A and B are shown apart, each in its own frame.
Chain A
């Protein structure tokens, strides 16, 4: 979609104009896993959208008027309504747009997806800490913790005897947790799911999904970005462009 591979907007940039009728805008960053959630849902539901990338190391002043937290992703529609917090944006898109529903209609099944989401919540900060420390300090403690968290997810799949976290077909919860596992693939760290065979199978099944494969992160660009990002380099977000 337009803007997905465009240079990011930083400090001093002019605020973008109104969102054109018939489209929804997502403020994003090419390598942000939280924004990836929203992009996956937009793609999976075939929602017409435009992307504006934000330089997260050098944020434009006007961006804080969109989201007081200054984070991506942020959705903005042609009525000027703004939605932020990645999980909230995904749920909003599922409710507001027609077509395939990603969240189940049944209240209990929906609650189960949200409980799995809570179970996953320690993975993002852990994985980031792990990537920050790799090659520098001893990160065996972090490795242990990651294994523990992955085992919790493995237990869900084992108990349910399903391929995906929401059942036999891919649904919202799978898209919500995928971006961090995409990192594992891009960084060739698949060994971290060696002791969780169902999780490994889930990853393989996810790679076959059209939305996942069309938005798959470029491993070289990601590694380049990560190096610069961890050094707080202002150019990190536009690596490879």
Chain B
């Protein structure tokens, strides 16, 4: 679904690694019956490959893509550094603003930055961008992220997102297709 932050993580990784893919959007308020054969609870994101293998849970899907596809590795190679990124993800769920380099993994953008990003992109739309006023390092990170080609390519248009939110809070089933021409 175009506005889901968890699915956004997976789309960021697909984009960053240049993995050819197709997207099928699911109407989360009116799920097709067949979708429950893909995920037992009808959640997104779910990856499906040509061997009919299904992978779900956004973090698991992202790691699968990094492992299975060649090219740029998003998780570091060093076992300790990998462990550190996974510990950081746990912290993300509890504390924000925990960093001492430009990006969360060091001087270059990596997996952990993409895993955090969807929520920060939405801060602006939700009208709560002020909550990073007291965390200059986080504000700098947001600015640096907006310069990343992958992040830019998938940036959600503010007005379209607002249009979606508006309809969504009214329980309008057409919310998910807001902004599409046909």
Contacts and interface: CB of A to CB of B under 8 A. Distances in A.
Contacts of A84: 87
B80 A83 contact: yes
Nearest to A67: B87
Contacts of B53: 108
A81 interface: yes
A118 B60 contact: yes
Interface in A78-134: 81, 83-85, 88-89, 91-92, 95-96, 107-108, 110-111, 114-115, 118
Interface stretch (B61-69, B101-109, B155-163): B61-69
B60 A114 contact: yes
Contacts of A110: 63-64, 67
Interface residues of B, number: 18
A83 B78 CA distance: 13
Given A107-B67, A108-B53, A88 B80 contact: no
Interface in A206-238: none
Nearest to A94: B79
Nearest to B57: A118
Given A83-B84, A108-B55, A115-B55, 18 more contacts: A85-B86, A85-B90, A88-B86, A88-B87, A88-B90, A91-B82, A92-B82, A96-B79, A107-B68, A108-B64, A110-B63, A110-B64, A111-B55, A111-B60, A111-B61, A111-B63, A114-B60, A118-B60
Interface of A: 81, 83-85, 88-89, 91-92, 95-96, 107-108, 110-111, 114-115, 118
